[in-house]
């Protein structure tokens, strides 16, 4: 299984970058030129080259702003997310250097150098497609992995105060790369922008305080904001989007003033990892893995560490991630058409179809149920009867939706 993304200047055909994940061989310049030439030949005849099938995969072409052509190559069953991946890569390029630079490409060599800063985030995106090495912070392309903890509401109040002190509007707190709490205004951001900010925080190099200029692809594609990331504790980061002021040295002082009394609160929230669900929510032993999606906020919570004293001999933790992710992407996601994103980055679709679905195999069973804006997917042992599986998922979803310890 492998995936590769190639960016090419549409007019000249000059490669801008190529990144890959998996066992795919590096592609030579002549092959890149041929792939781009196929697309240009089609355009000369008033045709659009959308995709083509390989023996064990597919190739997809997408042109953006009449300046950049992205070519995606996927093999081994990763094709289903390829179009969404290219949309995110295009938005990532804007996120890093701005829409004007992408549209004009006046100095191609400079653009190529500037886009190197997006490689760590791009690698996270590619990792989300590789079930053999799924990143804990990017298991899904279009969802933000989160931790549900009772402390989230109190942490939101601290975040609001912090954002106000640094004259910012959007702030979020991450633990081990998972979103824990957000400021009140955070969901004004487009879902793609929120995901890219999450990946920016996840790709930090451990610096205690760092600022990065970012362009918000929908809200501000041509004027950069500052994304200031601060390390509060080990594996705990807070990110805020603000303007040119205050200076980084002043923000350092504000961080100390705003967060010094919240250390114990953060430590309590850290105890939720890697279970990711409040301790008050209990899981039956036959549930091997659980995924819940907040459709409206595009956040998801996944756990394979449901039972502290129980270890499954039938499958590894990585295998549980793989099969539960496959079930969601190929089947359960159909229960949430609102999660689909159009080429222009806008959300599309509305829910009017079925509210549950399930799979059964020799080795395990899956069940998904949607109630309102919550979609739950559960992985079960193969001995669980189908009617029992349905009952347990419904009960657990009801418990999560009514729990006072759950705050999105």
Cβ distance 136 to 145 under 8 Å? yes
398 phi, psi to nearest 5 deg: -65, -40
pLDDT at 187 over 80: yes
- pLDDT reported for residue 132: 62
The closest of 305, 298, 294, 309 to 272, measured between CA atoms, is: 305
- pLDDT reported for residue 136: 57
Which residues have a Cβ under 8 Å from the Cβ of 383 and sit 6 or more positions away? 286
- pLDDT reported for residue 343: 62
Place 342 in a pLDDT band, splitting at 50, 70 and 90: low
Identify which has the larger pLDDT, 290 or 349.
290
User: What pLDDT, in 10s, does the model give residues 32-47?
Assistant: 899 889 888 888 888 8
- pLDDT reported for residue 134: 54
Q: Is 278 helix (H, G, I), strand (E, B) or coil?
A: coil
Provide the pairing of β-strand 220-233 with 236-242: antiparallel
User: What pLDDT, in 10s, does the model give residues 92-116?
Assistant: 999 999 999 999 888 899 999 999 9
Q: Mean pLDDT across the chain, nearest whole number?
A: 89
Cβ distance 290 to 274 under 8 Å? no
The closest of 206, 221, 182 to 92, measured between CA atoms, is: 221
Q: Is domain 287-402 in CATH 1.10.3470, yes or no? A: no
Mean pLDDT for 125-149 is 78
- pLDDT reported for residue 350: 66
CA distance 75 to 22: 9
- pLDDT reported for residue 311: 53
The closest of 82, 89, 80 to 123, measured between CA atoms, is: 89
User: What pLDDT, in 10s, does the model give residues 227-246?
Assistant: 999 999 999 999 999 989 89
- pLDDT reported for residue 128: 78
Q: Is 41 helix (H, G, I), strand (E, B) or coil?
A: helix
User: What pLDDT, in 10s, does the model give residues 292-310?
Assistant: 999 999 999 999 888 765 5
Q: What CATH homologous superfamily does 150-270 map to?
A: Dynein light chain 2a, cytoplasmic (3.30.450.30)
Place 252 in a pLDDT band, splitting at 50, 70 and 90: very high
The closest of 348, 323, 321 to 336, measured between CA atoms, is: 348
Query: What residue has token string 């781009």?
Result: 36
- pLDDT reported for residue 153: 95
Query: What residue has token string 């992995």?
Result: 145
CA distance 198 to 194: 6
User: What pLDDT, in 10s, does the model give residues 365-407?
Assistant: 999 999 999 999 999 999 999 999 999 999 999 999 999 999 9
Query: What residue has token string 């997006």?
Result: 118
Q: Is the whole model's pTM more than 0.95, yes or no? A: no
Q: What percent of the chain has pLDDT over 90?
A: 65
Lowest mean pLDDT across 21-35, 119-133, 225-239, 336-350 = 336-350
85 phi, psi to nearest 5 deg: -60, -45
Lookup: tokens for 275: 């279970």
Parts of the chain belonging to CATH 3.30.450.30: 150-270
Q: Is 339 helix (H, G, I), strand (E, B) or coil?
A: helix
User: What pLDDT, in 10s, does the model give residues 48-104?
Assistant: 878 888 888 899 999 998 899 999 998 876 666 889 999 999 999 999 999 999 998
- pLDDT reported for residue 79: 66
CA distance 203 to 408: 23
- pLDDT reported for residue 135: 58
User: What pLDDT, in 10s, does the model give residues 1-32?
Assistant: 789 999 999 998 999 999 998 888 888 888 88
Indicate the class that CATH gives domain 2-127.
alpha beta
Parts of the chain belonging to CATH 3.30.450.60: 2-127
- pLDDT reported for residue 384: 94
Which residues have a Cβ under 8 Å from the Cβ of 323 and sit 6 or more positions away? 315, 364, 366, 379
């Amino acid at each position: 299984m492998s995936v590769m993304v190639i960016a090419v200047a549409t007019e000249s055909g000059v490669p801008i970058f190529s990144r890959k994940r998996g066992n795919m061989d590096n592609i030579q310049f002549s092959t890149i030129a041929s792939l781009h030439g196929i697309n240009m030949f089609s355009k000369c005849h008033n045709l659009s080259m959308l995709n083509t099938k390989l023996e064990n995969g597919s190739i997809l072409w997408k042109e953006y702003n009449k300046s950049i052509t992205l070519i995606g190559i996927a093999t081994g069953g990763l094709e289903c997310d390829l179009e969404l991946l290219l949309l995110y890569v295009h938005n990532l390029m804007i996120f890093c250097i701005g829409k004007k630079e992408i549209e004009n490409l006046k100095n191609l060599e400079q653009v190529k150098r500037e886009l190197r800063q997006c490689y760590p985030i791009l690698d996270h995106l590619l990792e989300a497609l590789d079930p053999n090495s799924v990143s804990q912070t990017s298991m899904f392309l279009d969802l933000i992995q989160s931790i549900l903890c009772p402390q989230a509401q109190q942490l939101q109040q601290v975040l609001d105060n912090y954002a106000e002190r640094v004259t910012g509007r959007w702030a979020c707190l991450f633990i081990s790369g998972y979103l824990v709490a957000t400021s009140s205004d955070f969901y004004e951001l487009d879902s793609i922008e929120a995901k890219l900010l999450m990946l920016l925080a996840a790709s930090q190099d451990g610096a205690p305080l760092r600022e990065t200029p970012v362009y918000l692809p929908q809200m501000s594609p041509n004027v950069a904001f500052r994304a200031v990331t601060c390390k509060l504790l080990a594996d705990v980061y807070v990110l805020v989007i603000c303007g040119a002021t205050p200076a980084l040295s002043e923000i350092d002082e504000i961080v100390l003033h705003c967060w010094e009394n919240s250390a114990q609160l953060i430590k309590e929230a850290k105890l939720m990892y890697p279970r990711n669900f409040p301790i008050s929510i209990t899981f039956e032993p036959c549930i091997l893995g659980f995924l819940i999606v907040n459709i409206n906020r595009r956040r998801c919570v996944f756990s394979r560490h449901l039972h502290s004293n129980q270890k499954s001999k039938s499958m590894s933790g990585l295998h549980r991630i793989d099969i539960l992710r496959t079930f969601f992407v190929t089947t359960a996601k159909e229960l949430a058409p609102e999660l689909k994103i159009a080429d222009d980055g806008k959300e599309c679709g509305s829910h009017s179809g079925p509210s549950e679905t399930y799979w059964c195999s020799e080795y395990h069973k899956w069940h998904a149920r949607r109630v309102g804006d919550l979609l739950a997917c559960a992985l079960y042992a193969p001995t669980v009867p189908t009617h029992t599986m349905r009952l347990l998922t419904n009960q657990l979803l009801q418990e999560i939706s009514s729990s006072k310890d759950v705050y999105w």
